[in-house]
Structure 1
Amino acid sequence: MTSKRERIQAALTGQTVDRVPVGFWRHWPGDDQNPDSLAAVTLAYQRKYDLDFIKLPVSSTYCVEDYGITHAYRGSIMGDREYLSRIIHCPDDWAAVGPLDIRRGTYGWHLDSLGKIVKEKDQDTPVIVTMFHPLAIAAYLAGDELFLAHLREYPEKVLPALHTLAETSARFASACIEAGADGIFLSTRFASHELLSRDEFDQFGRPTDLMVLEAASAGWFNVLHLHGQHPMFKETAAYPVQAVNWHDRTSGIDLQTAARLSPKAVMGGVEQMRLLQDGSPREVMDQAREAIQKMNSRRLILTTGCTYPLAVPEANLMAMRRAVENAIG
């Protein structure tokens, strides 16, 4: 009998699988603010759907809370927390962005939560930890508009802070692997033509991304998530990861195109904002099986393009999970 670990490893390397691996994820507002409840909902979720991997479902605030930002859940349909205050207001504020001790504070309790999950999960079920690349972390500290303005007008002030954020992230990535994670899920929101030019990304984004990925290199299941409708897919194709996840159903880069652009395994196949939320179980299953057939069941992990809304019906999640059973590639 093929284990989940073996199934994922086969998919990552393009080998024949007994069935395509499957996974999906959501936010857990409230429960994502405590190590015990975060571990509990994460484990219960995986067991309920019998998913092939666990993705630790963190809030974006976890990587900046210890700098003093404030936040609250205000009813977001995605389960995201709202930023109530930032710490960057003028260019000189970037000098206050120092290194964090990843064993203490919010980083520290996320390591505690990961430890609980690793201890209590089925040992054959891989677990990956969601991280946000340094550009996104910097934007959480300032807000997108101010961050981009400072990055372009005062790069000499922002770049040292980006490097510091990358060093902290790299230490956290390494600590996650040491704690038993099989890899990280690096969300690169600014690797997008909507936000940066290629030259800007090469200057500000790529070097710090690679610092974090190098720190996670002992993991065997590292995933690059490209957020947005115009992802820098070609520009990040050589990133040292085993799989790539993006909005494949809406961005114009479908699974087959991606498979030609990159030797990595692809993670996608089901559109989460409209189809998974508003479609019927039959439509969800049909789209999932279409993806499996187009990829001939190779180099594919069936997932959504990103986090799905909290209002997605249970029947649609079950349909996505069942789609991999007896699917013909």
Structure 2
Amino acid sequence: MADMNHWERIEAALAGQATDRAPVALWRHFPDDDLDPLKLAEHSVRWQRRWECDLVKFMPSGMYGVEDWGTQTAFKGTPNGARESTRPGVNSVDDWRRLQRLDARQGSYGRQNEALALTTRELGGSVPVLQTVFSPLTTARKLSSERLFADMRLAPDAVEHALQVITDVTIDFALQALEAGAHGVFLATQLASYRLTTAAEYERFGRKYDLQILDALKGKARFNMLHMHGDDIMFDMLSQYPVEMLNWHDRLTTPNLREASQRFKGLLVGGLSEHGTLMQGTHADIEAEVREALEQTGGRRLMIGPGCVLPIRVTDDRLEAVMRGARSAA
């Protein structure tokens, strides 16, 4: 089969057609540098040119969506490079009621799309780019830490007010990302897990607002990916979302790729155990894991990727093994 470019490979995989090799997407944080738009863009372009991924999952700081509402954050050396909250922006029920709409072109939100625009300009449309967007309920948890769970049960109206404000700002941000050159969004939800919420709670406080974002992007984005974070995820509920791609910790929680391929007809993204085989296995183990993932789906409708963000200490030789596995399975 003739070599495909990134767009051809992704579009063929989405359609369930054969590809010249398995498509691959790899993403990681760039801690502290991700606070500076120019540095983040430079890292993003360098990463893409080094690995020639078939999709760029843009990697702003995971806390960008709460800093303009008062949450203080810091990078404290987490293995995945994520920043953490050092002081929540919401500390009482009344704080939810006081939450006001932000201008997403300014502040921390604005810096992320500034960095994105610099990146897409440099890449020149050669590869699909997705801006990272967090579900409103995920943003609410980052704003308030664990008090969210009590507040949404004891003061649901106050939390719902805040969730609508967050949703409106998230929609503004997502649409501005498209203006900045993104081809869609990577919508990450971290609370659609039975360990954290019930299905009824996620329907009320999660799904309702997630779908507002996706509805606002309808007809404007080329494609979107949904990331379902954590264990015991609500796969059946979320796999009904109007997205083209799904990503979750398929090596750690159900369903596996084989099962998911029967329940979702878009493109699955996964197959790598980013903290397991990728970091602890041999190069041969990594290549074998990639091939086994493709075998689960018959080599169709799968893009090789991590279940979540790569560890920042992952070495080039291990990522090269991922790429060899993707090529050898062609």
Structures share fold, TM-score greater than 0.5: yes
Q: Give the C-alpha shift of residue 216 in structure 1.
A: 2.3
Look up the match of 1:6. Answer: 8
Match of 2:91 among 89, 100, 108: 89
Runs of 4 or more consecutive aligned structure 1 residues displaced over 3 Å after TM superposition: none
Cα distance in structure 2, aligned partners of 1:282 and 1:325: 14
Cα distance in structure 2, aligned partners of 1:194 and 1:324: 34
TM-superposition CA deviations, 1:61-101 (whole Å, max 9, x none): 11111112111111111111121111211111111211110
Letter in 2 for 1:159: E
Look up the match of 2:293. Answer: 291
Look up the match of 2:34. Answer: 32
Look up the match of 1:104. Answer: 106
Q: Give the C-alpha shift of residue 122 in structure 1.
A: 4.5
Aligned length: 327
Look up the match of 2:81. Answer: 79
Look up the match of 2:119. Answer: 117
Q: Does 1:155 align with 2:156?
A: yes
Q: Give the C-alpha shift of residue 215 in structure 1.
A: 2.1
TM-superposition CA deviations, 1:193-238 (whole Å, max 9, x none): 1111011111111110001112222212200000011111001121
Q: Give the C-alpha shift of residue 327 in structure 1.
A: 1.3
Q: How does 1:178-327 map to 2 (within 5 A)?
A: 178-217=179-218, 218-327=220-329
SS in 2 for 1:101: coil
Contact 2:114–2:180 (CA under 8 A) maintained in structure 1: no
Contact 1:126–1:182 (CA under 8 A) maintained in structure 2: yes
Look up the match of 2:63. Answer: 61
Cα distance in structure 1, aligned partners of 2:135 and 2:65: 10
Letter in 2 for 1:165: I
Cα distance in structure 1, aligned partners of 2:30 and 2:98: 31
Calculate percent identity across the aligned residue pairs: 36
Cα distance in structure 1, aligned partners of 2:247 and 2:192: 13
Q: Give the C-alpha shift of residue 129 in structure 1.
A: 0.8
Cα distance in structure 2, aligned partners of 1:13 and 1:101: 38
* Mean CA deviation greater in 159-168 or 319-328: 319-328
Give the root-mean-square deviation of aligned CA atoms. 1.1
SS in 2 for 1:67: coil
SS in 2 for 1:324: helix
Contact 2:66–2:89 (CA under 8 A) maintained in structure 1: no
TM-superposition CA deviations, 1:40-62 (whole Å, max 9, x none): 00110111111111111111211
Contact 1:278–1:312 (CA under 8 A) maintained in structure 2: no
Q: How does 1:128-167 map to 2 (within 5 A)?
A: 128-143=130-145, 145-167=146-168
Q: Does 1:172 align with 2:181?
A: no
Letter in 1 for 2:153: R
Structure 1 residues 252 and 238, CA gap change in structure 2 (3 angstroms) = closer
SS in 1 for 2:262: helix
Letter in 2 for 1:232: M
Unaligned runs of 5+ in 2: none
SS in 1 for 2:78: coil
Letter in 1 for 2:135: H
Contact 2:58–2:131 (CA under 8 A) maintained in structure 1: yes
Cα distance in structure 2, aligned partners of 1:232 and 1:82: 25
Provide the TM-score with structure 2 as the length reference: 0.96
Unaligned runs of 5+ in 1: none
SS in 2 for 1:266: strand
Contact 1:137–1:165 (CA under 8 A) maintained in structure 2: yes
SS in 1 for 2:293: helix
Cα distance in structure 2, aligned partners of 1:326 and 1:77: 30
Provide the TM-score with structure 1 as the length reference: 0.97
Q: Give the C-alpha shift of residue 37 in structure 1.
A: 0.4
Cα distance in structure 2, aligned partners of 1:260 and 1:88: 41
Q: Give the C-alpha shift of residue 163 in structure 1.
A: 0.7
Letter in 1 for 2:119: I
